[in-house]
Amino acid sequence: MSYIIEPISVFSFVTDPSIKLPRFQRKATWTKEQNFELAISIFQDYPVGVVIVNKEKDESWLLDGRQRRTALIEMRENPIILYDWAKKYIGFKANEDPSELRKNYWGKVDKYLQKEDTNEKDSSAGIYEGEEELEDSFDSEKQKEGLQILLDLILMVHQIKNGASRWERDFNFTDFFYKIEYVNQREDNKINPVKLRKFLLDFKEDLKNKPVTKENFTEYYLDKFAIRDNQETKFREEINHKWNDIYFAIETISKSEKIFIDARIGLIKLTNVSPLDAQNIFSRINRGGTLLKAEELLSAKPFWNAKVNNANTKLKDIVKTMYERIGVEIPKDIYRWDIAATLLQRINDKGLFFDSYKGSAENGKVDIEQITLGFKLISSVFERGMSGKHVNNLEKNTNINWETSIDYLIEDIDKICEILMKDSFFEFFQSWKKPLAKLMGNAIVLEFITIVLEDWKDLGKPTVSSNAYNRFKQHARILFDRLVYEYSTKMWRGSGDSKMAADINNWKERIKPVSQETWLEFISAACNGKYKGENVTQQILTPVLYYYYILTDRSPINALNTQFEVDHLYPQEKFKDNCMVDISNKDCLCNLSLLPKKENVSKNNKSLREIVDTWLIQQIATYADIQQHDFEKYSDLSNIEELKSHRKTLYEKAFKEIRDSKLAN
């Protein structure tokens, strides 16, 4: 990787056609107020930060700075948008008296600048002994002049009447000419402010340093556009009547363009950067921003922007929806990046592995995790790992045919899901609507999918009842059992990427059962609240609790549209300031049960004896194995050891006798 850091003009930054936006960037979130404060910085001749561009071959991709670039383009090209920001920031009305607007503008700007000045003086970072502060390095007269030009732009547009600004009305000559290039005749002769601004700059440029006069402006129109019959005299009278405002607008637009030519922005130009390096650079110079994920950065690389042919209609529809939610232009074609980014939405895993992402993005937002997992799943299968390095290596993998390979992968995953869902073991698991990723995390679910795929292929891809078909289901149960054990004993803690990669490369060892003695040792410790000297937690025991219900063939009662959560039988409040009971009992396995979420909220900190909801009582009796006549006894914290003894016996039976039977079939 190499890079250079250089200042460039804001004009060059916003007009350079070689700078491309990645296929994916998060939707713009800047407010009108933030956009106008950026305008203040530009017109005040203040620096506006740095942006990051990745250059590969002859293409430059904007990794960081999209929101600034969008705001800079809009404030330069469209004074109407800038006026709208100012209106929100300053707080004036569309019919505000211009003198009052001026007063409010300077008051608001001064307040903002004083705030900025205070913030700078409060921070001594970077000021060393003998180093002068930079307060005198800016030309105060130039700064004030720039802020005056910003005000002039606002006044040029002000006031809005009948949906049109004063600026637009001043240049609406449709009564005199047949066709004017900045007027949209198809939309009731509506002025296009971007085209009008460009027209005025072109006029000034064509003068070749001659002064702007009423005469040359009039002749410019008469030479350029076809005037209607008998309208020239009236047109000249119109120009004469409006000339002061017209001249003011031409000069203001010209001065504002020079602001963007003179203004500078820092450009970090990377060459052949890896996603990891790009992430680190981004995070260090943009600490307040959201860290870019490797998969987002891939959307700015030529390899991932290669067109994919023969995309089916379903894929096209899903990709279209994704870009609508991103809020950028919908591409006409499908590219490699789109294939990976939408992978999870095309898998029919029946809720076994992931949350249902179909339609899950609300309010125009895109689920970043969904996109990330698509790339990681492909790299897990084809590169045998899920780290950023593995994802980056997909570019070098010649075994992937991007026209067909991912479609085949989806078909294979759908087939193994169909097989697993015909197994009562996984059917009971899925009935609780707790996908593997939600239960134990992304690294574990990616390992599970990758290994069962390897095993299924190794067994000849069986799809009907046979010895191989039954062995595949048995191996999937064994792997699930192992992953629950390892998660709950914290074997995955802090090592997800590396452990997962090592496991996949040694996958046949992963489908060998954990010994019964090993499991029973952990169950006994979890029931007592400690494992290897540490207190157990509700989080690490949650998969064990679900697994217990699978082993005992229990699915939710009346589970339609009902959500369940793990909660305590003895309320957590009971353990506070109670020196008679060891605090480790609070989260022990015997004090936890799955309960319906909505009804459990009403339970709050109530003891079992205080519960009056009949259905909640039934749920506790069923899933905590406590009969209602024992609710009184188990409401007294002094009886917790008896509760532990009762439930520990049931857990040990499940993980001794029943587990062996389930894994043997």
SS3 265: strand
More confident residue, 564 or 363: 564
**Strands lying side by side in the sheet with 59-64:** 2-9, 264-271, 50-56, 59-64, 19-20
Instruction: Tell me the two tokens of residue 200.
Output: 């005025």
DSSP collapsed to 3 states, 293-358: CHHHHHCCCHHHHCEECCCCHHHHHHHHHHHHHHCCCCCCCEEHHHHHHCHHHHCCCCCCCCCCCC
pLDDT at residue 322 above 60? Answer: yes
pLDDT by residue (tens digit) across 177-190?
999 999 998 888 89
Q: Is the pLDDT of residue 577 over 90?
A: no
Q: What's the residue count for the chain?
A: 665
**469 φ/ψ angles, rounded to the nearest 5 degrees:** -60, -45
Query: Over 70: is that where the pLDDT of 364 sits?
Result: no
Query: Sorting pLDDT into bands at 50, 70 and 90, what band is 255?
Result: very high
The predicted pLDDT at position 280 comes to 64
C-alpha 541/C-alpha 528 separation (Å) is 12
Largest CA distance in the chain: 105
Give dist(CA 150, CA 42) in Å, integer: 9
Rounded CA gap, 619 and 325, in Å?
Answer: 40
Average pLDDT over residues 135-154: 83
pLDDT tens track for 500-559: 999 999 999 999 999 999 999 999 999 999 999 899 999 999 999 999 999 999 988 765
* Bridge partners, residue 190, by sequence: 184
β-bridge mates for residue 54, sequence order: 61, 270
Nearest alpha carbon to residue 233 among 246, 243, 222 = 222
Q: Which of 257, 300, 332 is nearest to 75 (CA)?
A: 257
Residue 132 has pLDDT above 50, yes or no: no
pLDDT for 360 equals 41
**Averaged pLDDT, 368-378:** 90
Averaged pLDDT, 634-638: 90
Inform me whether the pLDDT recorded for 26 exceeds 80.
no
Beta-strand relationship, 334-335 and 307-308: antiparallel
Q: List the end-to-end C-alpha distance of the chain, in Å, as a whole number.
A: 54
Tokens of 2: 């190499």
Integer angstrom CA distances of residue 92 from 32, 60, 82, 96: 14, 41, 14, 6
User: What's the pLDDT at 22?
Assistant: 76
Inter-CA distances, 421 with 84, 349, 428, 556, Å: 56, 9, 9, 17
Q: Which residue has the higher pLDDT, 538 or 601?
A: 538
49-58 residue pLDDT tens: 888 888 877 7
> What six digits make up the tokens of 297?
């950065």
Q: Return the bridge partners of 531, or none.
A: 534
pLDDT over 80 at 309, yes or no: yes
Is 7 within 8 Å of 264 (Cβ atoms)?
yes
Pairing type for strands 50-56 and 592-596 reads unpaired
Closest CA to 304 of 224, 373, 400: 400
The H-assigned helical ranges of 64-97 are: 66-77, 79-86
The pLDDT assigned to 125 comes to 31
- pLDDT of 602 over the 60 cut: yes
Q: Are 412 and 536 in contact (CB under 8 A)?
A: no
Query: Binning pLDDT at 50, 70 and 90, where does residue 281 land?
Result: low
Distances (CA, A) of 387 to 56, 127, 382, 383, 495: 23, 40, 13, 10, 11
The CA distance from 273 to 64, in Å, is 14
> Between 75 and 564, where is the model more confident?
75
Q: What is the mean pLDDT of residues 238-258?
A: 97
Alpha-carbon distance of 337 to 496, in angstroms, equals 25
Residue 402 has pLDDT above 70, yes or no: yes
Burial 19-36 (b: 16+ CB within 10 A, else e): bebbbbbbeeeeeeeebb
Residue 541: both structure tokens together: 């025991």
pLDDT, averaged across the chain: 87
Confidence of residue 135 (pLDDT cuts 50, 70, 90): very low
Averaged over 131-160, what is the pLDDT? 78
Q: Between helices 232-262 and 140-157, what is the axis angle to 10°?
A: 140
Which helix (H) or strand (E) is 191 found in, with range? strand 190-191
Q: pLDDT at position 535, please?
A: 93
CB 28 within 8 A of CB 67: yes
Taking residues 605-612, report their average pLDDT. Answer: 85
pLDDT tens, position by position, 425-452: 999 999 888 999 999 999 999 999 999 9
Q: What is the mean pLDDT of residues 344-371?
A: 73
DSSP code of residue 87: I
Average pLDDT for residues 554-575, to the nearest whole number? 82
Measured CA to CA, the distance from residue 164 to residue 191 in angstroms comes to 9
